[in-house]
Structure 1
Amino acid sequence: MIILIAATAQNNALGKNNQLLWHLPNDFKHFKNLTSGHYIIMGRKTFETFPKPLPNRTHIIISRSQYQAPEGCITVNSLHEAIQKCPKDQDIYIIGGGQIYQQAINIANKIELTRVHHHFEADTFFPEIDPNKWQLIQEHYHPSDEKHAYSFTFQTYIKK
């Protein structure tokens, strides 16, 4: 199954200047729980926002140029090639950025979205989720608190 996983603001904002716009520890835990042990596909700019490769995941990095990725990471030139590198019988997580999500939304089977209940100024956005193509099947609300400046909702969509 091809799964898009993202955290977006109410206006679909993902980030600005290759940086996340919020810090939500429970969202990081959610991301880790879902993606651990799986292949994760991302664009080069997304990968470069990490201080080092994420543990217990196989990284596939999409780059149009000859990108020298750290040992253990796989570099490819297209989303199609990235998907071909993944096992056929396992869930694959596409983790960004905006251009990669745009390319992948029509081939994905599922979306794991953290909807941050705030509007942000951004330069990178998640594509619109078309309600004619996607069905919301699960939601879990998390209020703001001392560790989370913004409330958010974990949402799961499946393709109709």
Structure 2
Amino acid sequence: MELVSVAALSENFVIGRDGEIPWPSIPEDKEQYRGRIANDPVIMGRQTFDSMRDDLPGSSQIVLSRSQQTFDVDTAHYARTVEDAIDIAESLGAETAYVIGGGAIYDLFQPHLDRMVLSRVPGKYEGDTFYPVWETDEWQLESETPYERFTLQEWVRRTDT
């Protein structure tokens, strides 16, 4: 199974401030993001899950939580650890599972990722949540697609390191 991180981040790696994105909404980015993860399980933290309850992404939600073990959503699954989350995604028959945040979840999964799909938003923003800085010698930029207000980058973990 391929494990892919998906995030929008600024030049200074900010992904959030007070539970919101710190830049004006980018509908084109939301559309490509939602389309990409629509038919696969997504892995997220409980706060991210709670913030998306009105419009949950993915075919299933695997929620890492230290405090809550059950959810009132049929497609939500509880995971205690990274390994639990990966096992659950595999048990769902997934070829790909997407890690979608928040900041602590991205940190936990970074060593396990096969790919990163990152919407790079120009500018530096104030924030309290960050995407982890990665070792560039461990990753190769596979593609870069410019859009009007962001650039979509796809990174693949090098296998020759």
Q: TM-score, normalised by structure 2?
A: 0.89
Asked if the contact 2:37/2:57 (under 8 Å) is kept, the reply is no
Judging by fraction of residues, say which structure has more helix. Answer: 2
Which of 146, 149, 152 is residue 150 of structure 2 equivalent to? 152
Match of 1:133 in 2: 138
SS of structure 2 residue aligned to 1:120: coil
Residues in 1 aligned to 2:121 and 2:103: alpha-carbon distance in whole angstroms: 16
> Alignment identity in percent?
29
The answer to whether the Cα contact below 8 Å between 2:17 and 2:129 also exists between their aligned partners in 1 is: yes
Deviates more, 1:57-66 or 1:44-53: 44-53
Q: How far 1:67 sits from its partner (Å)?
A: 4.3
Q: 5+ residue gaps in structure 2?
A: none
Contact 1:19 1:49 in 2 (8 A): no
- Contact 1:110/1:157 (<8 A) preserved: yes
CA–CA distance in structure 2, aligned partners of residues 37 and 97 of structure 1: 20
Residue aligned with 2:137, SS = coil
> Alignment partner of 2:34: what SS?
helix
Which AA in structure 1 matches 2:64? I
Deviations 1:106-149 (Å, cap 9, x if unpaired)?
11000000000011100000011221001001001112xxxxxx
Counterpart AA for 1:128: V
What does 1:1-160 correspond to in 2, within 5 Å? 1-22=2-23, 23-54=25-56, 57-72=59-74, 73-87=76-90, 90-143=95-148, 151-160=149-158
Partners of 2:129 and 2:57 in 1: CA distance? 26
Q: CA RMSD in A?
A: 1.5
Report the CA distance between 1:51 and its aligned residue.
Answer: 4.0
Partners of 1:66 and 1:38 in 2: CA distance: 23
- SS of 2:111 mapped into structure 1: coil
Aligned length: 153
1:64–1:78 contact (8 Å) kept in structure 2: no
Q: Displacement, 1:69? A: 1.8
Q: Which residue type is aligned with residue 83 of structure 1?
A: I
CA distance in 2, matches of 1:51, 1:91: 22
Instruction: Provide structure 1 residue ranges, at least 5 long, that are not aligned to the other structure.
Output: 144-150
CA distance in 2, matches of 1:153, 1:3: 18
